[in-house]
Chains A and B, each alone.
Chain A
Protein backbone atom coordinates (compact mmCIF):
# COMPACT_ATOMS: atom_id res chain seq x y z
CA UNK A 1 0.00 0.00 0.00
CA UNK A 2 1.36 3.39 -1.01
CA UNK A 3 1.56 5.69 2.02
CA UNK A 4 1.34 9.02 0.14
CA UNK A 5 -0.01 8.79 -3.38
CA UNK A 6 -0.25 11.58 -5.93
CA UNK A 7 -2.00 11.64 -9.25
CA UNK A 8 -1.20 12.17 -12.00
CA UNK A 9 2.50 11.29 -12.15
CA UNK A 10 2.98 13.32 -15.33
CA UNK A 11 1.01 16.28 -16.60
CA UNK A 12 1.68 18.07 -19.87
CA UNK A 13 -0.57 21.00 -20.64
CA UNK A 14 -0.73 24.25 -22.54
CA UNK A 15 -0.31 27.73 -21.11
CA UNK A 16 -3.52 29.19 -19.83
CA UNK A 17 -5.10 25.88 -18.90
CA UNK A 18 -6.36 24.94 -15.44
CA UNK A 19 -5.21 21.68 -13.86
CA UNK A 20 -5.44 19.79 -10.57
CA UNK A 21 -3.13 17.43 -8.75
CA UNK A 22 -4.52 15.08 -6.12
CA UNK A 23 -2.85 13.68 -3.02
CA UNK A 24 -3.96 11.09 -0.50
CA UNK A 25 -2.22 9.64 2.55
CA UNK A 26 -3.19 6.54 4.47
CA UNK A 27 -0.81 7.07 7.40
CA UNK A 28 -3.29 8.82 9.68
CA UNK A 29 -1.09 11.93 9.72
CA UNK A 30 -2.60 15.25 10.76
CA UNK A 31 -0.49 17.48 8.52
CA UNK A 32 -0.06 17.57 4.75
CA UNK A 33 2.14 19.72 2.54
CA UNK A 34 2.77 20.80 -1.02
CA UNK A 35 6.36 21.42 -2.11
CA UNK A 36 7.63 22.59 -5.49
CA UNK A 37 10.97 21.30 -6.83
CA UNK A 38 12.46 23.35 -9.64
CA UNK A 39 14.82 22.28 -12.40
CA UNK A 40 17.81 22.81 -10.08
CA UNK A 41 16.23 20.43 -7.54
CA UNK A 42 15.54 23.22 -5.06
CA UNK A 43 12.55 22.31 -2.89
CA UNK A 44 10.30 25.08 -1.63
CA UNK A 45 7.26 24.75 0.58
CA UNK A 46 4.02 26.10 -0.86
CA UNK A 47 1.25 25.15 1.55
CA UNK A 48 0.59 23.16 4.67
CA UNK A 49 -2.69 21.94 6.12
CA UNK A 50 -3.32 20.58 9.58
CA UNK A 51 -6.50 18.58 9.94
CA UNK A 52 -8.11 20.39 6.99
CA UNK A 53 -7.03 23.83 8.18
CA UNK A 54 -4.56 25.93 6.16
CA UNK A 55 -1.62 26.75 8.43
CA UNK A 56 1.19 27.66 6.06
CA UNK A 57 0.76 29.68 2.89
CA UNK A 58 4.10 30.79 1.53
CA UNK A 59 4.39 33.50 -1.11
CA UNK A 60 2.61 31.62 -3.85
CA UNK A 61 0.61 33.24 -6.69
CA UNK A 62 -3.11 33.09 -5.97
CA UNK A 63 -3.49 31.04 -9.16
CA UNK A 64 -2.54 28.15 -6.88
CA UNK A 65 -5.37 27.04 -4.61
CA UNK A 66 -5.07 24.09 -2.25
CA UNK A 67 -8.11 22.23 -0.96
CA UNK A 68 -8.32 19.69 1.83
CA UNK A 69 -11.69 17.93 1.96
CA UNK A 70 -10.51 15.81 4.89
CA UNK A 71 -7.23 15.24 6.69
CA UNK A 72 -6.26 12.38 4.38
CA UNK A 73 -6.53 14.43 1.19
CA UNK A 74 -4.86 17.57 -0.07
CA UNK A 75 -5.40 18.67 -3.64
CA UNK A 76 -3.74 21.46 -5.58
CA UNK A 77 -5.58 23.38 -8.27
CA UNK A 78 -3.66 25.67 -10.60
CA UNK A 79 -5.41 28.26 -12.76
CA UNK A 80 -4.07 29.94 -15.89
CA UNK A 81 -0.90 27.87 -16.05
CA UNK A 82 2.32 29.64 -17.01
CA UNK A 83 5.60 28.33 -18.40
CA UNK A 84 7.28 29.05 -15.06
CA UNK A 85 4.93 26.65 -13.29
CA UNK A 86 6.78 23.75 -14.90
CA UNK A 87 8.31 21.78 -12.03
CA UNK A 88 7.87 18.66 -9.97
CA UNK A 89 5.24 19.05 -7.26
CA UNK A 90 5.53 16.88 -4.18
CA UNK A 91 2.89 16.13 -1.62
CA UNK A 92 4.04 15.08 1.85
CA UNK A 93 2.51 14.27 5.19
CA UNK A 94 3.68 14.11 8.79
CA UNK A 95 2.43 13.82 12.33
CA UNK A 96 1.74 17.21 13.84
CA UNK A 97 4.81 17.23 16.06
CA UNK A 98 8.30 17.60 14.66
CA UNK A 99 9.83 14.49 16.18
CA UNK A 100 9.15 12.62 12.97
CA UNK A 101 10.17 13.16 9.39
CA UNK A 102 7.94 13.76 6.43
CA UNK A 103 6.65 11.03 4.14
CA UNK A 104 6.71 12.18 0.53
CA UNK A 105 4.70 11.13 -2.48
CA UNK A 106 6.49 10.23 -5.70
CA UNK A 107 5.82 13.61 -7.28
CA UNK A 108 3.90 15.05 -10.22
CA UNK A 109 6.01 16.35 -13.08
CA UNK A 110 4.13 19.29 -14.58
CA UNK A 111 5.24 20.57 -17.97
CA UNK A 112 3.59 23.67 -19.36
CA UNK A 113 4.09 24.19 -23.08
Chain B
Protein backbone atom coordinates (compact mmCIF):
# COMPACT_ATOMS: atom_id res chain seq x y z
CA UNK B 1 0.00 0.00 0.00
CA UNK B 2 1.15 3.52 -0.68
CA UNK B 3 2.32 5.52 2.30
CA UNK B 4 3.86 8.75 1.05
CA UNK B 5 2.33 11.31 -1.25
CA UNK B 6 4.63 13.92 -2.74
CA UNK B 7 3.49 17.35 -3.70
CA UNK B 8 3.77 18.81 -6.26
CA UNK B 9 3.90 16.03 -8.83
CA UNK B 10 6.11 18.20 -11.03
CA UNK B 11 8.12 21.35 -10.40
CA UNK B 12 10.03 23.48 -12.89
CA UNK B 13 12.40 26.22 -11.72
CA UNK B 14 15.37 28.25 -12.92
CA UNK B 15 18.93 27.50 -11.92
CA UNK B 16 19.84 29.24 -8.70
CA UNK B 17 16.30 29.16 -7.29
CA UNK B 18 15.26 27.04 -4.32
CA UNK B 19 13.06 23.98 -4.78
CA UNK B 20 10.67 22.72 -2.11
CA UNK B 21 8.95 19.36 -2.25
CA UNK B 22 6.48 18.04 0.28
CA UNK B 23 5.57 14.57 1.42
CA UNK B 24 2.58 13.45 3.47
CA UNK B 25 2.14 10.01 4.97
CA UNK B 26 -0.59 8.12 6.76
CA UNK B 27 0.74 5.93 9.56
CA UNK B 28 3.27 6.46 12.32
CA UNK B 29 6.87 6.13 11.25
CA UNK B 30 10.28 5.18 12.57
CA UNK B 31 12.05 7.35 10.04
CA UNK B 32 11.50 9.11 6.74
CA UNK B 33 14.00 9.16 3.87
CA UNK B 34 14.42 11.07 0.64
CA UNK B 35 15.80 9.57 -2.56
CA UNK B 36 16.72 10.98 -5.95
CA UNK B 37 16.24 9.15 -9.24
CA UNK B 38 17.83 10.43 -12.41
CA UNK B 39 16.13 9.39 -15.63
CA UNK B 40 16.80 5.74 -16.41
CA UNK B 41 18.83 5.17 -13.25
CA UNK B 42 18.42 3.66 -9.82
CA UNK B 43 17.44 5.57 -6.71
CA UNK B 44 20.10 7.28 -4.64
CA UNK B 45 19.67 7.81 -0.91
CA UNK B 46 19.90 11.50 0.02
CA UNK B 47 18.99 11.91 3.65
CA UNK B 48 17.28 10.14 6.55
CA UNK B 49 15.39 11.87 9.36
CA UNK B 50 14.26 10.00 12.44
CA UNK B 51 10.81 10.43 13.96
CA UNK B 52 12.27 12.28 16.96
CA UNK B 53 14.10 14.80 14.75
CA UNK B 54 12.52 17.94 13.34
CA UNK B 55 15.14 19.18 10.90
CA UNK B 56 18.25 17.88 9.20
CA UNK B 57 20.77 19.38 6.81
CA UNK B 58 23.13 17.86 4.28
CA UNK B 59 24.97 20.24 1.97
CA UNK B 60 22.31 22.11 -0.05
CA UNK B 61 19.56 19.85 1.29
CA UNK B 62 17.32 20.67 4.20
CA UNK B 63 14.67 18.25 5.42
CA UNK B 64 11.98 18.96 7.96
CA UNK B 65 9.63 16.53 9.64
CA UNK B 66 6.36 17.29 11.40
CA UNK B 67 5.04 14.06 12.90
CA UNK B 68 1.91 15.79 14.23
CA UNK B 69 0.93 16.64 10.65
CA UNK B 70 2.50 13.49 9.21
CA UNK B 71 4.42 15.53 6.70
CA UNK B 72 7.96 16.27 5.57
CA UNK B 73 9.55 18.73 3.21
CA UNK B 74 12.75 18.65 1.19
CA UNK B 75 14.36 21.97 0.31
CA UNK B 76 17.13 22.14 -2.26
CA UNK B 77 18.85 25.51 -2.16
CA UNK B 78 20.64 27.21 -5.06
CA UNK B 79 19.48 24.56 -7.51
CA UNK B 80 21.60 23.43 -10.43
CA UNK B 81 20.68 21.83 -13.74
CA UNK B 82 22.24 18.61 -12.41
CA UNK B 83 19.54 18.51 -9.71
CA UNK B 84 16.99 17.66 -12.41
CA UNK B 85 15.55 14.31 -11.31
CA UNK B 86 12.60 12.68 -9.59
CA UNK B 87 12.57 12.91 -5.82
CA UNK B 88 10.85 10.33 -3.64
CA UNK B 89 10.07 10.22 0.03
CA UNK B 90 10.01 6.83 1.71
CA UNK B 91 8.82 5.84 5.15
CA UNK B 92 9.88 3.10 7.51
CA UNK B 93 7.01 2.26 9.81
CA UNK B 94 9.17 0.24 12.18
CA UNK B 95 8.32 -3.32 13.10
CA UNK B 96 10.49 -6.39 13.04
CA UNK B 97 11.40 -6.07 9.34
CA UNK B 98 12.96 -3.02 7.74
CA UNK B 99 10.73 -2.08 4.81
CA UNK B 100 10.47 1.24 2.99
CA UNK B 101 7.22 2.39 1.43
CA UNK B 102 7.69 4.96 -1.32
CA UNK B 103 5.56 7.83 -2.53
CA UNK B 104 4.88 8.65 -6.16
CA UNK B 105 7.65 11.20 -6.45
CA UNK B 106 8.11 14.79 -7.58
CA UNK B 107 9.71 15.43 -10.95
CA UNK B 108 12.02 18.44 -10.57
CA UNK B 109 13.28 20.21 -13.68
CA UNK B 110 15.94 22.86 -13.21
CA UNK B 111 16.31 25.02 -16.29
CA UNK B 112 19.75 26.49 -17.03
Q: Which B1-49 residues have a C-beta within 8 angstroms of A?
A: 2, 30-31, 33, 35, 37, 40-45, 48
Tally of chain A residues near chain B (CB < 8 A): 28
Closest CB in chain B relative to A52 CB, distance in Å: 15
Tally of chain B residues near chain A (CB < 8 A): 25
Given the contacts A41-B104, A45-B100, A55-B97, A98 and B31 also touching, CB distance less than 8 Å = yes
Q: Which residues of chain A are within 8 angstroms of B88 by Cβ–Cβ distance?
A: 43
In whole angstroms, what is the CA distance A50 to B98 when docked? 10
With an 8 A cutoff between CB atoms, is A94 at the interface?
A: yes
On whether the beta carbons of A104 and B43 are closer than 8 Å, the reply is: yes
On whether the beta carbons of B101 and A45 are closer than 8 Å, the reply is: yes
In whole angstroms, what is the CA distance A99 to B47 when docked? 11
Given the contacts A56-B97, A98-B30, A43 and B102 also touching, CB distance less than 8 Å = yes
What is the chain B residue whose CB lies nearest that of A91? B42
What is the chain A residue whose CB lies nearest that of B104? A42
A-B pairs with the 8 shortest C-beta distances?
A: A101-B45, A104-B42, A43-B102, A98-B98, A104-B43, A106-B42, A98-B92, A55-B97
**Which residues of B line the A interface, CB within 8 A?**
2, 30-31, 33, 35, 37, 40-45, 48, 86, 88, 92, 94, 97-102, 104-105
29 residue pairs bridging A and B, Cβ less than 8 Å apart = A31-B98, A41-B86, A41-B105, A42-B104, A43-B43, A43-B88, A44-B102, A48-B97, A48-B99, A50-B97, A90-B42, A90-B43, A92-B43, A94-B98, A96-B98, A97-B98, A98-B30, A99-B48, A100-B48, A101-B33, A101-B35, A101-B45, A102-B43, A102-B45, A103-B45, A104-B35, A105-B42, A107-B40, A107-B41
**Which residues of A line the B interface, CB within 8 A?**
4, 31, 35, 40-45, 48, 50, 55-56, 90, 92, 94, 96-107
